[in-house]
Amino acid sequence: MRMLRAVFAHPSGRIGGVIVALYLLLAVLGLLGLTPHNPLMQYRIDRLHAPDSTYWMGTDLFGRDVASRLMMGIGQSFTVAFFSVAFAALAGTVLGLAAAWFGRRWDGVLMRLMDVLLAFPAILLALLIVAVAGPGTRTSIVAIAIVYTPIFTRVVRGPALSLKAREFVDAARTFGSSSSYILTRHLLLNLVAPLTVQITLALAWALLTEAGLSFLGLGTQPPAASLGLMLSDSRNLMETAPWLMIFPGVAIMISILGFNLLGDALRDIFDPRMRRAIA
């Protein structure tokens, strides 16, 4: 509750919070099927219908209502983006901290493993995962999580190394704090800033990666919709039916703006130095 109030007291937090809340609402409505039209219903006489009062955002190649599909797509895209980023951030933080904290051989082995993963062309990785698990939502989540884990690892390890070298960790050590205390209290707290930024960046990337996977037919399977699939399906219709590209495109942009603003606000709130600065 105090958290919420803090977010809403922050200028960008207010805008970001409202946007993200709105999207969450649309996502839930979309996932529950509470849309203006049935997103899967093909109104055959109204194929490629321009936006009007019946179809607020027009219809697609099949005569399906774009507005309804957009809501369904937001639900689908958010599911994929949230889960994949959550997995990647969790795994990446644990691995990055482990690498920085234990140093030496651990660091070498872990970071080289991450190099192996990073060095893999993402398509090959995606193809392989899809070949083993079959295309679909779960596969997309796993594939995106694996692609982004090394990035989180590196992002956490860099500042962790630099923080570890700073005096206050040394100071805490000499005062006899246990290492787990140091980890949670200082390191993690100081990692909140880079992590929240990275997470908001990664959410944006995840939305776009899902688009890339859908582009290659490896992501969301038709007739379900995701923002990325809608965008990649619109590419050859860009000239005939521009609304097919505009609406999902704008939807992705605004959602990413929301994430970014909220992320900035959270960083300000969490960051102990900022709090000191304010106090």
Name residues contacting another protein, limited to 71-110 (CB under 8 A).
Answer: 103-104, 107-108
Number of residues that bind another protein (CB under 8 A): 82
Q: Which of 94/113 has CB closer to another protein?
A: 113
CA 119, CA 54: separation in Å to the nearest integer?
Answer: 49
How far from chain centre, in Å, is Cα 43?
Answer: 33
Residue 184 DSSP symbol: I
Q: Figure out which of the listed residues 199, 225, 245, 266 binds another protein, where binding follows CB under 8 A.
A: 245
Q: Are 73 and 227 in contact (CB under 8 A)?
A: yes
Among positions 19-58, residues that touch another protein (CB under 8 A) are 40, 42, 44, 47, 50
Q: Which of 1/153 has CB closer to another protein?
A: 153
Q: Which of 1/241 has CB closer to another protein?
A: 241
Q: Which of 1/105 has CB closer to another protein?
A: 105
Q: Figure out which of the listed residues 25, 54, 171, 273 binds another protein, where binding follows CB under 8 A.
A: 273
Q: Which of 84/232 has CB closer to another protein?
A: 232
Among positions 118-147, residues that touch another protein (CB under 8 A) are 118-121, 123-124, 127-128, 130-132, 134-135
Q: Which of 1/278 has CB closer to another protein?
A: 278
Q: Which of 2/239 has CB closer to another protein?
A: 239
Q: Are 274 and 10 in contact (CB under 8 A)?
A: no
Q: Of 22-30, 79-87, 173-181, 230-238, which segment contacts another protein by CB under 8 A?
A: 230-238
Among positions 187-206, residues that touch another protein (CB under 8 A) are 193-194, 197, 201, 204
**Is there binding between residue 253 and another protein (CB under 8 A)?**
yes
**Is there binding between residue 237 and another protein (CB under 8 A)?**
yes
